[in-house]
């Protein structure tokens, strides 16, 4: 990775590029690269290009917190999930006007969840007199980590429709509605506590019973954490 960063820094120093970025990297890879750049005084990654939509918010688990902490911007590709969030597809996956999704089902999306998002976006779109696609794009533009959105219109009218999304302002209530239908499910992992399941802490640092009615701990004990979590969703 050091060799790559030296090469990219050389391009910046010679004025061939202004900023450098990566596409589809994991959080640990970006964090490692940023650490190397800081240690060696090299140009650092300024942006990540990745898939992110209202129906696909997995980046929020690891990448978004890291990017906000490190000042890395997000360039979104496939902001309409290959057209699925445009509102032209029914829950059966069919579209009267055709579309790429009918022949190439990408990027992967949890369909029912996506259509639930479309239903809410359609209600908001109708109240504003705009398209569902514009609401999907506007939601992205309201996310602090997003610096730009890469659109892939095939026709001029689609391009005009997409560009108009930059002028849409979503109210706090509308954002709450969209967040309610699209928020990530709880991701319970070892070392994390979400208020569900059972947890018992056994520690040698105290003679207090670990639970009401229990006997004080005596003797030499190594600290231990026994957990029982619900199955992953």
**Is residue 14 in some structural domain?**
no
Q: Do residues 135 and 223 share a domain?
A: no
Same domain as 138, residue 57: yes
The count of other CB atoms within 10 Å of the CB of residue 3 is 7
Same domain, 193 and 129: no
Contact 42, 6 (CB under 8 A): yes
Q: Are 73 and 140 in contact (CB under 8 A)?
A: no
Does a structural domain hold residue 220?
Answer: yes
Q: 136 with 80, same domain? A: yes
**Longest CA pairwise span in the chain (Å):** 77
Token look-up 């007199």 returns 129
> Is it the case that residue 23 has pLDDT exceeding 80?
yes
Q: How far apart are CA 110 and CA 98, in angstroms?
A: 20
Among residues of the chain, what percentage have pLDDT more than 90?
65
DSSP structure string for 49-74: EEE-BTTB-GGGTTHHHHHHHHT-EE
pLDDT in tens, 53-88: 999 999 999 999 999 999 999 999 999 998 899 887
> Do 143 and 193 belong together in one domain?
no
Instruction: Check whether 177 has a pLDDT greater than 60.
Output: yes
Is residue 215 included in any domain, yes or no?
yes
Q: Is residue 60 part of a domain?
A: yes
Same domain, yes or no: 192 and 113: no
Q: State how many domains the chain has.
A: 2
Domain boundary pick from 182, 197, 222: 182
Distance separating alpha carbons of residues 6 and 107, to the nearest angstrom: 33
**Domain span including residue 207:** 185-233
CATH code of 172's domain? 3.20.20.100
Final residue of a structural domain among 182, 197, 221: 182
Taking the CA atoms of 106, 112, 117 and 119 in sequence, report the sign of the dihedral they define. positive
Which residues of the chain form beta strands (DSSP E)? 20-23, 45-51, 73-77, 146-149, 198-202, 224-228
Single residue among 182, 198, 221 that ends a domain in this structure = 182
Contact (Cβ atoms closer than 8 angstroms) between residue 102 and residue 90: no
In a domain, 175, yes or no: yes
Tell me, yes or no, whether 9 lies in a domain.
no
* Rounded Cα–Cα distance for residues 17 and 8 (Å): 9
Query: Is pLDDT at 230 greater than 60 in this prediction?
Result: no
Q: Check whether residue 222 and residue 133 sit in a common domain.
A: no
Residues 115 and 190 in one domain: no
- Map tokens 């911007």 to a residue: 73
Q: Is the peptide bond before 107 cis (omega within 30 degrees of 0)?
A: yes
| Residues 143 and 217 both lie in one domain | no
81-85, 108-112, 125-129, 198-202: lowest mean pLDDT where?
198-202
Same domain membership, residue 161 and residue 80? yes
Closest CA to 149 of 49, 35, 66, 1: 49
> Helix axis angle, 2-13 relative to 27-40, nearest 10°?
60
- Same domain for 132 and 175, yes or no, is yes
* Residue 107 and residue 217 share a domain: no
Given a cut of 60, is residue 233 above it in pLDDT? no
**Is 204 within a domain?**
yes
């Amino acid at each position: 990775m050091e060799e790559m960063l030296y090469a990219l820094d050389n391009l910046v120093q010679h004025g061939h590029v202004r900023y450098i970025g990566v596409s589809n990297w994991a959080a640990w890879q970006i964090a490692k690269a940023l650490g190397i750049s800081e240690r060696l005084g090299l140009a650092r990654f300024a942006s990540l290009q990745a898939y992110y939509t209202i129906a696909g918010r997995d980046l929020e688990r690891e990448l978004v917190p890291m990017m906000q902490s490190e000042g890395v911007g997000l360039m979104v590709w496939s902001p309409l999930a290959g057209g699925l969030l445009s509102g032209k597809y029914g829950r059966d996956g069919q579209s009267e006007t055709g579309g790429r999704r009918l022949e190439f089902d990408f990027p992967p999306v949890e369909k029912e969840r996506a259509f639930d998002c479309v239903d809410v976006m359609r209600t908001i779109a109708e109240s504003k007199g705009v398209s569902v696609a514009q609401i999907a794009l506007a939601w992205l533009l309201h996310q602090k980590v997003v610096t730009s959105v890469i659109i892939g219109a095939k026709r001029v009218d689609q391009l005009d429709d997409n560009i108009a999304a930059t002028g849409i302002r979503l109210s706090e209530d509308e954002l709450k509605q969209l967040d309610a239908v699209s928020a990530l499910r709880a991701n319970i992992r070892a070392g994390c506590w979400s208020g569900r399941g059972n947890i018992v802490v056994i520690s040698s640092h105290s003679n207090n019973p670990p639970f009401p009615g229990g006997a004080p701990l005596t003797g030499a004990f190594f600290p231990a954490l026994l957990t029982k979590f619900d199955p992953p969703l």
